[in-house]
Amino acid sequence: MAFIGQNRQKPYRYLRGDPLIDAANALVLEDIVDLNRKHPDGVFIASQAGEIVGLVACDDLPWDTRVLGNQWGALRYFMVAPAIPDKAEVLRHLLESALNWARSHNIECLVCKIYAEDIPGVRALEKQGFLYMDTLLDYVVSLKTNPVEKLAVPALPADVTIRLATSEDTRKLIDVARVAFRNHFSRYMVDERIPKERSQNVYAEWIRSSAAGYADWILVAEIGGNITGYSVWKRPSQSEREKGINLGHYSIAGVLPDFSGRGLFSALTYAGMKLLDRQVDYIEGPVHIKNHPVQRAYSKLFWQICDARHSFHKWLVE
């Protein structure tokens, strides 16, 4: 636990205050224990003088594998103690162990998301042949300091309706997702090894999975009876709640290109914040670094950039 507490390369690090920081560290430790239980041969530590100075945890990605058609895996954690002098060597050994694990499990592509300021980690990945794909910004809004009832309601054209999705909307939502993300710039789209049609399937399956139970709510924007956009929301997980982390999750949103610039994203975001109001203290939502319209909309609703993560892929097959 001490190693995790001292390390900055972990989720939830934007949470402030000792109780929340302790809860976040406990959640990370719980996740690593679960990964070790799932893959007893996939969690590797480096130690010096009896102290843990590095850790990497490997996992398979069955959802990505099903959607993209290759065997996908991930480095869930890739940490090294901040004070040790030989970081590069420790990181190299950890990555070599992880790559050996991936090959022994027939992983064809290995993903690593790493915090943007972790230059030693980035260099270690690049030396092992990982290629940079994209950067996500983690936006967070505090509903304690920015209560929804005090926010200005985003302006919305009179012909737009925001409502909760029903099971009957699923087919149309899938169609909207395919069009909305046709020219997106995510890691799936920029990886030259992934056929364009398969990368588009990611967003179709994302909304299908959300409608099938992954999400707690899906909101739709409707014009003239036609769905033109959507947003996907989740309550805190059971483990987050048990540890006192009242953090809601804005999973994804999509708007048809022909209707961009009409305020649909802002309206969908505001409506989701209302759903989570009085249930959570914070809401987090990732956004691609190149998605400037979403960032402008977030800022008007008092969301702030709290973190940034780079995505890397390494293909292990020719």
User: Tens of pLDDT along 151-173?
Assistant: 999 988 889 999 999 999 999 99
Residue 67 has pLDDT above 90, yes or no: yes
Residues 113 and 217 in one domain: no
- Which positions ≥6 away from 169 have C-beta within 8 Å? 211, 218, 220, 227
Residues 227 and 279 in one domain: yes
Which structural domain range is residue 260 located in? 139-308
Is residue 90 in some structural domain? yes
pTM of the predicted protein model: 0.94
Q: Tell me: the pLDDT tens digits for 3-28?
A: 888 888 888 888 888 899 999 999 99
pLDDT band at 277 (very low <50, low <70, confident <90, very high): very high
Computed over every residue of the chain, the mean pLDDT equals 95
Q: Report the pLDDT value the prediction gives residue 1, as an integer from 0 to 100.
A: 63
Tell me how far apart the alpha carbons of residues 106 and 72 are, in angstroms, rounded to a whole number.
9
Is residue 317 in some structural domain? no
Is residue 233 in some structural domain? yes
Residues 258 and 238 in one domain: yes
Burial of 225 (0-12, 13-18, 19+ CB in 10 A): exposed
Is residue 314 in some structural domain? no
Q: Tell me: the pLDDT tens digits for 81-136?
A: 988 989 999 999 999 999 999 999 999 999 999 999 999 999 999 999 999 999 99
Is residue 313 in some structural domain? no
Residues above pLDDT 70, as percent of the chain: 100
Is residue 51 in some structural domain? yes
Residues 121 and 193 in one domain: no
Strand partners, 56: 44, 78
Q: Tell me: the pLDDT tens digits for 206-224?
A: 999 999 999 999 999 999 9
Contact 286/208 with Cβ under 8 angstroms? no
Domain count, the chain: 2
Instruction: Please list the alpha-helical segments (H only) found in 39-191.
Output: 62-68, 87-104, 119-127, 170-180, 187-190
Residues 159 and 24 in one domain: no
Structure tokens at 58: 């490997």
Tell me how far apart the alpha carbons of residues 52 and 81 are, in angstroms, rounded to a whole number.
8
